[in-house]
Structure 1
Amino acid sequence: MNLSPAETALQKALQETSLILSAQEEARMVRLIARNLAQDTDYILAPTFIKLLCTVRRKDWAKKLNRLVQKMDKPWIQSEDIAWAVSYIHDPDPSDQVLSDALQQSLSNRIRQNGHNAIESFQTLHADLLDSGKPALNAKQIHMMAQDVAAAFDLDSEEANLFIEETLYQDQKQRQIDKEIHQIARDRKRDEIKKQKEWENSLVSFKEIPPLLHCSHKEALKWIAENKIPVAQKIKKHGKDIWRFDPKEIKALRPQITHWRNGSVGKDKKNKYINLGDLNIKNKVLASVAAMDRYAAHFITARSLKRRIILVTGPTNSGKSYTALKTMAESESGIALAPLRLLAHEFKEALADRGIEASLKTGEERIIVPNSRFLAATVEMCPMDNPVDVALIDEAQMLTDPDRGAAWTAAIMGVPARQVFVLGSPECIPIVKRIAKLCDDPCEEISLQRKSALQVAEKTISLSKLQAGDALIAFSRREVLDLRAVLLQKGHHVAVIYGALSPEVRRAEAKRFNDGEADILIATDAIGMGLNLSIKRVIFSTIYKFDGNSRRLLTSQEVKQIGGRAGRYGKHETGTVGLLAGAGDPSFIKRQLDAPPGEEKDLRPLVQPDSAIVSAIAKEINSDSLFGVLTRLKRAVLRADDPNYRLAEMEETFAIASSLEGVQGLELRDRWTYSVCPVDDRDNGIQRLTRWAADHAAGKSIPAPTMGKLPHPSRATRQELERAEKRHKRLVAWRWLSLRFPDFYPDLESAEQTTRELNDWIEAVLRQQRRKTEL
């Protein structure tokens, strides 16, 4: 039997090295030797053979180390540590001890990168582990991790013992604090639930209303229909609505009976909008005190103005903001509200281009221009007190977003401007008109058409057919980075944009793409709002998206919002929307683009309380419990069947409020502020926030998170990039709190500098155009 040169070389190498290979290894080695064999030769040097064999065996070594790590119960050892460990080994038949030593060396290298000393490194390593969403470490694991950190920094035995003892002491102390907070929270929540049940048990049926008000049955029904008599609770029983009333609140209405019967204007009607600053209101129904059942009334300054709403709708690339910005630039004062910090910056720059220096206000950033009467801000930061001439509120289709829709409701209802430009896709028309009606504001509509043509690719597009100016759309960070790795292998220069990246990094990546430094953009739906991108073709890599609950088909609105980014006006006459080969039927894209605007089933705008409303309810129910206030709000203040409004879910706010219930010494308003801080519980953000709040309540300063020591961007792995992104999220939350509690979150300037350095590092990593599969 004639052997190939590679097979012959393998046999010679086995004889020379006396190594034994499995049949599977021999097959792989033949292929590797064939690629590395010099022309017209059937011999390979022993060192080269051994190097190739190590490459083949590293996968099995990694599996062995994975089993070892699971046995050791050290979750801080990452897959990257194992990958680096096996890359250090050049002995084709290493012992278990050699593998273990290589892993310890790899781990020590990463630990030293986390900080400048053992304490800082341990804190960063521990925070990163919590960010990964893994369960908290037990005392034994804390001890082992402290030992690993001490070993990494080569502490002598005395220093190591002191470090480990102090680490264990601080961990035990924190565990005790956490336990006390949890216990207090559990007891307080139980008490609040008990109070809620007692209140519900005190409610009376409709038949008790006439005796309480000394009126007839018919009068009571009439006044209930006119919303004069508040229904405290509605429940369904045997398919029928059962009304229940708070007898204390009903008795408080007796002085109004004469006015109601005579048709004269009583106190409530005369003062159409209750001033929440007057907290001396007694015995009013909670919905009236909170102004949640007539939410528009809460915004006193806006209601005092003669406002006009101009609803400007159109698809992406139709120039919706142009008219509003032009009108604003010609006025004496204005507010431009954007959905993202990045877009708030763009509004500020757009006004600057028109000769107007505007201040900037976002959740984590303030740039104040003295004497300027113009402001660019994120929607949640809309000021409600100082009247201006013109306001612009962008992306109004966000009104139906379950997480942030209430912020758009508040902004549209409460922005104190005489002209309010509301911009969005056609889907938002019915709900914006509904809001205008609730505010008694006239509303005019302007409908715009797309400035450049948009076409659909009839056939799917393969990765090999991608062209400069293409944007490839995926729907997760992992998919984006996987596609990036594939395209780098194919020789493309790639820019990426996804939700975990900061606005600064997104803008830098967008600039690389627009300037031609990157020929392909890979992005999630994070490009759906804002970012001026010179995209010629938008190509969906999938027609499915996981929305947090399930994997579903893309909606028409999503396809229009993202696909509409193709064909930027002034750059490309025509934009193309297509589908990647293997992703499905391209006709799906055409159907979704051609579909009429979707009809929202429930046009009641989403609402949620603010600090004033929370304080008013707390005073009315005589409680300092945020959990109790929110529970009452959800179960009694604004009922699910309210004809005008829907209460936002506020699941994360409830979760934070529940956790903060055990933190003593923190004012209700401060706990409310913490409850709306931007955190993600998937990375244990609520636990971290609660610990910060506990330190705040104890009068302690909370140090800013560090960025840790990071490797050179050219050596960064995907895991290191993800850790940097999570560290950035910690800094965002800390900076957000620093703007609200500067005495307890000091040195904001240093935190901002750390954020800039972290952004620079992340951008430098993404700029690396090496063909490396792990990133």
Structure 2
Amino acid sequence: MDIICSPAQRALASATQSTGLEPSAKEMPRALRLVARALTPGDDKITDAAWRDILCTIRRKNWASRMMHLARQAHEPWISKEDMIEAAGRIDHPEAGDELLRHHLDIVIADRFREISHVPGDVFAAVKADLSDSGQFLSGQQVDHLARRIAEIFGVQDFAFESELIAQEQAQAAREEEIRRKAAQRQQREIEKLRRWEASLVGFDQVPALLHCSRQEALRWVAENRLPIARRTTQSDGIERFEFDPDMLRKLRHQLGRWRSRQDDAPRRPDAPAVGAKIGNAVIARVAALDRYAGHFKTARALKRRLVLITGPTNSGKSHAALDALAEAESGLALAPLRLLAHEFKEALGKRGVAASLMTGEERILVPDSRHIAATVEMCPFYTPVDVAIIDEAQMLTDPDRGAAWTAAIMGVPARTVYILGAPDCIPLIRRIATLCNDPLDEVSLERKSPLRAANGPTRLDQLGRSDAVIAFSRRDVLDLRAELMARGRRVAVVYGALSPEVRRAEAARFNRGEADILVATDAIGMGLNLSIRRVIFSALKKYDGRQSRDLLPQEVKQIGGRAGRYGHHEDGIVGVLAGAGNIHMIDRMLKAPPEPMVELRPLVQPDMDIVRAVADEVGSESLYGVLTRIKRAVLRADDPNYRLADMEQPMEIAAALEGVEGLELSQRWTYAMCPIDERDNGITRLVSWAAEHAAGRAVPPPGTGRLTPPAKAGREELERAEKRHKRLVAWRWLSIRFLEFYRETDRAAEHTEALNDWIESVLRQQSHRRESVRQYDGPGTRHRRAGKPSSRPSLHRTRRRD
């Protein structure tokens, strides 16, 4: 037997005899491999300690699984997979039973809780917040159990601690349930109120009788915009039906004498409604002025504005001339789509010798005596005239989530000269807006500074070189590609939407400095970020846009692919596709395609606080949900010739949830409804909880960072959790600018934000990661493969609103 046995087999037999520790039949193959690795050449024995270590290594996966079972039995959802893996890694007894497993797991949990905070109450709040991140909520029994565990870990002998935590949780749960109950009742009441109003409306045929006038007089007064039309609907035969509020018509009877005698020959201007006039519900459309939206921006309309539209592809230098003009002006404003780009505008002005303040949703940097501002589009100041304004990325006008902000900025920015920068596709819509505003429009068309062409053929993953960028359309695919490239020894930087502007910028800097060979990114690089890219390679030619999976549009390929071949760094830009992900001829056709003809030329609009307040006054309601419902149902009809009402789904959901919160003014509710949150991260529930604390006069503490594991050990779950925490801090800081009295701890929030940014960037810098997935791109016609098997995962991707 000794003749046919290998050294590893002899060593394993000797070790089992010496220690009495035998592997199972299932463990045997791996045990032999590990023993073989542990042997010194020429030896056929290992030490007893080495054999115990080998058995522990083999059994740790099963120990972690067993710990998961124990945690589930104990109803302890706060114990994570990472906790179990760490606890299993600490065990050095090969025959560990449940008692030892539980002992080590308890030690790991105690260490984690102590890392969170030295204050037991803060630990409880942090653990609860972490669970809510993943959609888990504690039952009463679990709250009691967690409170006891924390008390044990921190040596709290006072049972009042546990009782207090439990009482707080019960009170909080009762408050939340009461908010939900009231919200449901009030929503129903507002809906019934709207239904009764709509049922009371009458057609034009009944107007003469209500006003005691002739049909001809009624027609004339409607044409003169004297009789408020409550609702317009288009019937099946295509004829438009006008409906009127009878109560409001009766209130106008006393004016008929003047109208008949022509004493009032100046009907109300449709573009300048009398917002404060109490004419009643039927005048909502005129009060809201959404069908006369340009007239809402009175400061801009009072100026003699000139619009200058500068269009061109990426890398054509659109912003250079506009920034020069802005720097030379005595006062000015630069509006960008992202906070990161607002910072870049501020820096660009600084390089031209002009100090500028910064205004974004979550931060303010005010420079004394400066008359220039760099801001995000949503922060456009509509009441302070300036000499020159820049509005970047005007093609965003068609974006279903944020397009209305561009409409407002272009129509309402109070600047004598407005430079509008964008892709050629936006030209028809800008012309339409200029006509609606009655502003003169100059057009400038620029060509790309360096040529852009399609690659000669598909690109394999192993053909990617330095200064290449690979484009994916989901966070998961970005991280998959990153893992694959790092497994091949490549240094990788990443950019995707969930990363903060600071981290994106740091990753871009690593790539530009040559500290990373390849950039893997989503279409988040399509706007901003100065990147020295040689080639842009698409990993897919389809994307999930939040509504459906669809082919990329030519403008998207041009916008993203145009990042290749940065002028002054590369002679030309090359756009390609990974082998097996699409046809290179499609890339070539889309790069050469002319701008798509724009079918929809009605800009998107949405109400602002002035409009919300005016409508609320007219309907006599302080319910934001009721006001928004009325605006949606009665203000801007679907076939309005000039404007489209933007998607207001999220503000409506927030307004509905806030109905149950007492003590907030209408303007405060509107501010909460505009707060940037992620609905998929329990965002509305969290926002309502914050609003309830605010309404009760209590301060709202900033979200914490939670436990940040060492970056080298962090996996995707920890990274995603940190990204979610950062988003919550963004929302908190956004609210702190507007409600500083209740969102006070701004320094602490800034510290948490910085800590998360630093940690996320450290994680992304790790180049020696364990390979979390194995996919290969070998050649034409191949598909993604995982562990040698075809992938069944479709290439679906999701983009979200607002950065």
Residue type of the partner of 2:243? Answer: R
Match of 1:718 in 2: 716
Match of 2:80 in 1: 78
Match of 1:124 in 2: 126
Q: Does the alignment pair 1:679 with 2:680?
A: no
Match of 2:607 in 1: 609
Match of 1:143 in 2: 144
State the shift of 1:752 in Å: 2.2
User: Identity over aligned residues, as a percent?
Assistant: 56
CA spacing shift, 1:272–1:627, aligned 2, 3 Å:
closer
Match of 1:474 in 2: 472
Aligned with residue 211 of structure 1, among 209, 212, 221: 209
The aligned runs of 1:305-454 (5 Å cut-off) are 305-454=303-452
State the shift of 1:336 in Å: 0.3
Residues 186 and 659 in structure 2, CA contact (< 8 A), matched pair in contact too:
yes
Measured in 2, the distance between the counterparts of 1:288 and 1:487 equals: 59
Aligned length: 770
Residues 275 and 298 in structure 1, CA contact (< 8 A), matched pair in contact too:
no
Residues 542 and 584 in structure 1, CA contact (< 8 A), matched pair in contact too:
yes
Unaligned runs of 5+ in 2: 774-803
Measured in 1, the distance between the counterparts of 2:472 and 2:55 equals: 37
Match of 1:496 in 2: 494
The DSSP-based 3-state class of the residue aligned with 2:510 is helix
The DSSP-based 3-state class of the residue aligned with 2:574 is strand
Q: Please, which moves more after superposition, 641-650 or 359-368?
A: 641-650
State the shift of 1:628 in Å: 0.5
Measured in 2, the distance between the counterparts of 1:104 and 1:348 equals: 51
Q: Does the alignment pair 1:514 with 2:512?
A: yes
Match of 1:458 in 2: 456
State the shift of 1:213 in Å: 4.7
Match of 1:288 in 2: 286
Aligned with residue 63 of structure 1, among 65, 68, 73: 65
The DSSP-based 3-state class of the residue aligned with 1:603 is coil
CA spacing shift, 1:265–1:296, aligned 2, 3 Å:
farther
Measured in 2, the distance between the counterparts of 1:272 and 1:256 equals: 22
CA spacing shift, 1:591–1:16, aligned 2, 3 Å:
farther
CA spacing shift, 1:32–1:523, aligned 2, 3 Å:
farther
CA spacing shift, 1:541–1:205, aligned 2, 3 Å:
same
CA spacing shift, 1:29–1:546, aligned 2, 3 Å:
farther
Q: Please, which moves more after superposition, 524-533 or 240-249?
A: 240-249
Measured in 1, the distance between the counterparts of 2:162 and 2:500 equals: 36
Match of 2:586 in 1: 588
Residues 80 and 719 in structure 1, CA contact (< 8 A), matched pair in contact too:
no
Deviation string 1:52-76 (CA, Å, 9 cap, x unpaired) is 4433333333333333333333322
Aligned with residue 645 of structure 1, among 640, 643, 646: 643
Match of 1:105 in 2: 107
Match of 2:782 in 1: none
Match of 1:248 in 2: 247
Q: Does the alignment pair 1:537 with 2:539?
A: no
Measured in 1, the distance between the counterparts of 2:539 and 2:34 equals: 33
State the shift of 1:204 in Å: 0.7
State the shift of 1:292 in Å: 1.1
Measured in 2, the distance between the counterparts of 1:218 and 1:47 equals: 105
CA spacing shift, 1:279–1:511, aligned 2, 3 Å:
farther
CA spacing shift, 1:390–1:236, aligned 2, 3 Å:
closer
Measured in 2, the distance between the counterparts of 1:629 and 1:163 equals: 45
The DSSP-based 3-state class of the residue aligned with 1:385 is coil
The DSSP-based 3-state class of the residue aligned with 1:285 is helix
Measured in 1, the distance between the counterparts of 2:581 and 2:333 equals: 43
Residues 427 and 597 in structure 1, CA contact (< 8 A), matched pair in contact too:
yes
Q: Does the alignment pair 1:750 with 2:731?
A: no
CA spacing shift, 1:43–1:609, aligned 2, 3 Å:
same
Residues 58 and 86 in structure 1, CA contact (< 8 A), matched pair in contact too:
yes
Residues 533 and 564 in structure 2, CA contact (< 8 A), matched pair in contact too:
yes
The DSSP-based 3-state class of the residue aligned with 1:293 is helix
Aligned with residue 730 of structure 1, among 728, 731, 753: 728
Aligned with residue 195 of structure 2, among 186, 194, 197: 197
Residue type of the partner of 2:143? Answer: I
CA spacing shift, 1:753–1:258, aligned 2, 3 Å:
same
State the shift of 1:356 in Å: 0.6
Measured in 2, the distance between the counterparts of 1:482 and 1:49 equals: 36
Aligned with residue 693 of structure 1, among 686, 691, 694: 691
Residue type of the partner of 2:63? Answer: W
Measured in 2, the distance between the counterparts of 1:602 and 1:260 equals: 39
Measured in 1, the distance between the counterparts of 2:143 and 2:54 equals: 39
Measured in 2, the distance between the counterparts of 1:162 and 1:256 equals: 71
Deviation string 1:536-571 (CA, Å, 9 cap, x unpaired) is 122222333233334333332322222211111111
Residue type of the partner of 1:296? Answer: A
Residues 488 and 772 in structure 1, CA contact (< 8 A), matched pair in contact too:
no
Match of 2:789 in 1: none
Residues 385 and 414 in structure 2, CA contact (< 8 A), matched pair in contact too:
yes
State the shift of 1:26 in Å: 2.8
CA spacing shift, 1:603–1:380, aligned 2, 3 Å:
same
The aligned runs of 1:170-189 (5 Å cut-off) are 170-189=168-187
State the shift of 1:49 in Å: 4.0
Residues 391 and 410 in structure 2, CA contact (< 8 A), matched pair in contact too:
yes
State the shift of 1:655 in Å: 1.1
State the shift of 1:304 in Å: 0.8
Q: Please, which moves more after superposition, 445-454 or 475-484?
A: 475-484
State the shift of 1:512 in Å: 1.3
CA spacing shift, 1:115–1:708, aligned 2, 3 Å:
farther
Measured in 2, the distance between the counterparts of 1:715 and 1:105 equals: 19
TM-score, reference length from structure 1 = 0.93
Measured in 2, the distance between the counterparts of 1:555 and 1:741 equals: 41
The DSSP-based 3-state class of the residue aligned with 1:663 is coil
Measured in 1, the distance between the counterparts of 2:223 and 2:597 equals: 29
Q: Please, which moves more after superposition, 121-130 or 711-720?
A: 711-720
State the shift of 1:90 in Å: 3.1
Residues 341 and 377 in structure 1, CA contact (< 8 A), matched pair in contact too:
yes
CA spacing shift, 1:553–1:87, aligned 2, 3 Å:
farther
Measured in 2, the distance between the counterparts of 1:256 and 1:594 equals: 62
Measured in 2, the distance between the counterparts of 1:69 and 1:582 equals: 44
Deviation string 1:67-98 (CA, Å, 9 cap, x unpaired) is 33333333222221222222222333322222
The DSSP-based 3-state class of the residue aligned with 1:294 is helix
CA spacing shift, 1:576–1:176, aligned 2, 3 Å:
same
Residues 13 and 46 in structure 1, CA contact (< 8 A), matched pair in contact too:
yes
Residue type of the partner of 2:393? Answer: E
Match of 2:653 in 1: 655
Deviation string 1:605-629 (CA, Å, 9 cap, x unpaired) is 1111111111111100000100100
Residue type of the partner of 1:65? Answer: M
CA spacing shift, 1:263–1:553, aligned 2, 3 Å:
farther
Residue type of the partner of 2:273? Answer: I
Residues 6 and 37 in structure 1, CA contact (< 8 A), matched pair in contact too:
yes
CA spacing shift, 1:139–1:624, aligned 2, 3 Å:
same
Residues 226 and 267 in structure 2, CA contact (< 8 A), matched pair in contact too:
no
Deviation string 1:179-228 (CA, Å, 9 cap, x unpaired) is 22112212211211111011011001232133345555566567657766
Aligned with residue 633 of structure 1, among 631, 637, 658: 631
Residues 108 and 151 in structure 1, CA contact (< 8 A), matched pair in contact too:
no
State the shift of 1:234 in Å: 4.1
Measured in 2, the distance between the counterparts of 1:424 and 1:754 equals: 36
Q: Please, which moves more after superposition, 196-205 or 135-144?
A: 135-144
Measured in 1, the distance between the counterparts of 2:142 and 2:551 equals: 43
Residue type of the partner of 1:248? Answer: D
Measured in 2, the distance between the counterparts of 1:15 and 1:218 equals: 111
State the shift of 1:680 in Å: 1.4
CA spacing shift, 1:38–1:462, aligned 2, 3 Å:
farther
Residues 468 and 537 in structure 2, CA contact (< 8 A), matched pair in contact too:
yes
Deviation string 1:253-290 (CA, Å, 9 cap, x unpaired) is 667878988999844445742364x4656676101111
Residues 252 and 284 in structure 1, CA contact (< 8 A), matched pair in contact too:
no
